């Protein structure tokens, strides 16, 4: 199999307060992992453990203090602006809040056309309609505005937007957490379907072991900016070895669903 993403010795800190008397907090500490094309990789952990910061680094929205991230062998932090623009066609985000991630002043046609325009490609109406159909929305949605849709429908639109440029990797940062439980299942199934149809790789960020077990082939459990445990999803979720994984599992799964091991 061909390696898609490699994260090497990533460290990231933020400074709060003034530039002269601020407090430096390290949020990622020596993060290392890699996965292959076609895999779904779960980043699991409680709020504040560094998952979303790592997502922003993978998307090249921020830079680390030290370390490297490679996508298809390219060191993304060594790219010039033109090369980085091309990289963004390969790596697309789906954010947590479907209400904030869509411009309320744009029609859905404009939302889906924007990635094509940014990359100097001409949006084709039939392609936009096909994208909507693939995420389970009617073609007439193109004429509407985000406020005319429910949260689950908006997240479907966000997924369609992420697919516009036929990416190789989607980074989904807690994409289900703001949705009702019944809608979560629908969106989770949609991620599984598009992964299969497009041959995508997926970074799925969550605090929920059950959702990750359904979608992910491998998982990383993060705790206070470090990797507490990493391995095949079923092994880690059903038989967690680290205290962090055991604690997270107990917090999100009913007793009857928890696996064996050291839980």
pLDDT reading at 254 higher than 70: no
What average pLDDT does the segment 40-55 reach? 92
pLDDT reading at 54 higher than 50: yes
What pLDDT does residue 253 have?
53
CATH superfamily of this structure's domain 42-64+80-252 = P-loop containing nucleotide triphosphate hydrolases (3.40.50.300)
Which pLDDT band, with edges at 50, 70 and 90, does 75 fall under? very high
Report the predicted TM-score, pTM, of the whole model to 2 decimal places. 0.89
CB distance 7 to 28 below 8 Å? no
What pLDDT does residue 256 have?
40
Which pLDDT band, with edges at 50, 70 and 90, does 263 fall under? very low
């Amino acid at each position: 199999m061909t390696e898609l993403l490699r994260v090497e010795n990533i460290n990231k800190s933020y400074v709060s307060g003034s530039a002269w008397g601020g407090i430096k907090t390290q949020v990622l500490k020596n993060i290392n992992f890699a996965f292959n094309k076609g895999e779904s990789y779960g980043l699991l952990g409680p709020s504040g453990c560094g998952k979303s910061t790592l997502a922003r680094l993978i998307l090249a929205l921020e830079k680390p203090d030290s370390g490297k991230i490679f996508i298809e062998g390219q060191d993304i932090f060594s790219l010039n602006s033109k090369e980085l623009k091309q990289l963004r066609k390969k790596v697309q985000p789906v954010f947590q809040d479907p209400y904030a991630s869509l411009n309320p002043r744009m029609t859905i046609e404009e939302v889906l056309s924007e990635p094509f325009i940014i990359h100097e490609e001409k949006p084709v109406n039939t392609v936009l309609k096909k994208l909507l159909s693939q995420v389970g929305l009617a073609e007439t949605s193109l004429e509407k505005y985000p406020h005319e849709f429910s949260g689950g429908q908006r997240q479907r639109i966000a997924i369609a937007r992420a697919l516009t440029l036929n990416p190789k990797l989607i980074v989904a940062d807690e994409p289900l957490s703001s949705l009702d439980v019944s809608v979560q299942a629908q969106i989770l199934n949609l991620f599984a379907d598009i992964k299969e149809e497009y041959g995508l790789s997926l970074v799925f960020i969550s605090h929920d072991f059950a959702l990750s077990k359904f979608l992910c082939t491998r998982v990383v459990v993060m705790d206070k900016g470090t990797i507490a445990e990493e391995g095949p999803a079923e092994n880690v979720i059903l038989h967690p070895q680290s205290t962090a994984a055991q604690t997270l599992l107990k917090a999100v799964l009913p007793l009857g669903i928890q696996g064996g091991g050291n839980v």
